[in-house]
Amino acid sequence: MSLRIIELFGYSSADSSESAQSHRSKFRCPFLHDRCTKTLNDGIISGVCTVKQVNSSPIICCPVRLYAADYKMLLDIATDCFGPGVRLVAGSATLSEVSDGKAVAVFGKRWGRELHLPQRGGVGSYFVDWVLAHLAGDGTLKEFVAVEVQTIDTTGNYRDERQAHMDGVGFVGNSTAGINWENVSKRILPQLIYKGHVLRREKLCSKGLFFVCPTPIYERIVRRLGGELLDYMPQPGALTFRHYDLGPDLGQGEIRDLVFRGQRTTTVDQVAHALSSPSNLPAAGVYQQAIEMAIGS
């Protein structure tokens, strides 16, 4: 099923305002306040933030879109985990910047310093997108939480539609792009389980792993796991799903808000069991039916 581009360089693809056109001409991302980092296969800057299938809701396809309002999503998680009044500082912050005990050092892209974890023989991956480290007044580590961010991957090609919007003309035809839902079960869930187990062994990771994604991905995960996950409080080995959608279209020259839709905490064990459980199987005989239909045709 083909897609339509909903947001391009932060603005509605139908937005012809001066601000929207300026961001497109400069390939500028309004969430990074810098040049867009998302590229097509040949290196051309994409600028596509959000897409939409026919008869479905918009779905964010660029992780940076989730960093709207100056990474408010990270601050909200830090507040949930470490209490009200905390503030985010770069991982390279000096002692004078953290002396009040309210500082949460952020380790991730564009925050001054990324963590360098030891190699593991080229097998597996336990790097996470973000680490939020709550620091004591003397700069020592009190506790930390890890955050993984994932949006939807697309297949095919929406190059012609993108170019039409860049040129300010209406797009006619259909793109070949689609949504890669298979990544949810093939890649995303196994990685969350693995990284969750790694973090469970960290004595200062007392709230577990947070997974931030668009609401349609969360809903697909719940369906894939059979909808029978038990709820837990944040704890070592916990896995918290936190999901977001776009707010309403605000009109020309305006960027849609990022809206928090909900949060649910379970455990890595619950997710692993549900992923491998036979409780979410198709009806018996689906292979036979498919073969007989193929023979009949």
Cross-strand partners of 214: 244
Name the DSSP class of 117. Answer: P
DSSP H helical ranges for 140-234: 159-167, 182-183, 189-200, 215-224
Q: How many CB atoms neighbour CB 90 within 10 A?
A: 16
Same domain, yes or no, for 109 and 39?
A: no
* Confidence label for 207 from pLDDT (cuts 50, 70 and 90): very high
Same domain, yes or no, for 189 and 82?
A: yes
Cross-strand partners of 135: 141
Same domain, yes or no, for 11 and 27?
A: yes
Element (H, E) at 242: strand 238-246
Examine the fold and report which residue of 161, 179, 197 is the final residue of a domain before the chain moves on: 179
Question: By the 8 A CB rule, do 267 and 239 touch?
Answer: yes
Same domain, yes or no, for 77 and 204?
A: yes
pLDDT in the model for residue 92: 86
CA–CA gap between residue 185 and residue 274 (Å, rounded): 11
> What is the pairing mode between strands 87-90 and 141-149?
unpaired
Question: By the 8 A CB rule, do 286 and 252 touch?
Answer: no
Average pLDDT of the residues of the chain: 89
pLDDT in the model for residue 125: 67
Same domain, yes or no, for 165 and 261?
A: no
Q: Considering only 23-32, 90-99, 273-282, which range has the smallest mean pLDDT?
A: 273-282
Burial class (CB in 10 A: 0-12, 13-18, 19+), 219: middle
| Amino acid at site 17 | S
Q: How far is CA 278 from the centre of its chain?
A: 28
pLDDT in the model for residue 114: 73
Same domain, yes or no, for 101 and 159?
A: no
Q: How many domains does the chain have?
A: 2
Separate counts of helices (H) and strands (E) for the chain: 8, 15
Same domain, yes or no, for 231 and 86?
A: yes
Query: Which is higher by pLDDT, 269 or 180?
Result: 269
Look at residue 179 and give its three-state secondary structure: strand
Same domain, yes or no, for 103 and 167?
A: no
Question: By the 8 A CB rule, do 217 and 224 touch?
Answer: no
For range 165-191, the mean pLDDT: 80
For range 244-250, the mean pLDDT: 94
Same domain, yes or no, for 136 and 159?
A: no
Same domain, yes or no, for 137 and 161?
A: no
For 270, the domain range is 66-150+181-297
| Residue 1 predicted with pLDDT over 60 | no
Same domain, yes or no, for 220 and 207?
A: yes
Question: By the 8 A CB rule, do 240 and 208 touch?
Answer: yes
Q: What percent of the chain is modeled with pLDDT above 90?
A: 61
Same domain, yes or no, for 133 and 58?
A: no
pLDDT digits (tens, 9 = 90+) for 9-37: 999 999 999 999 999 999 999 999 999 99
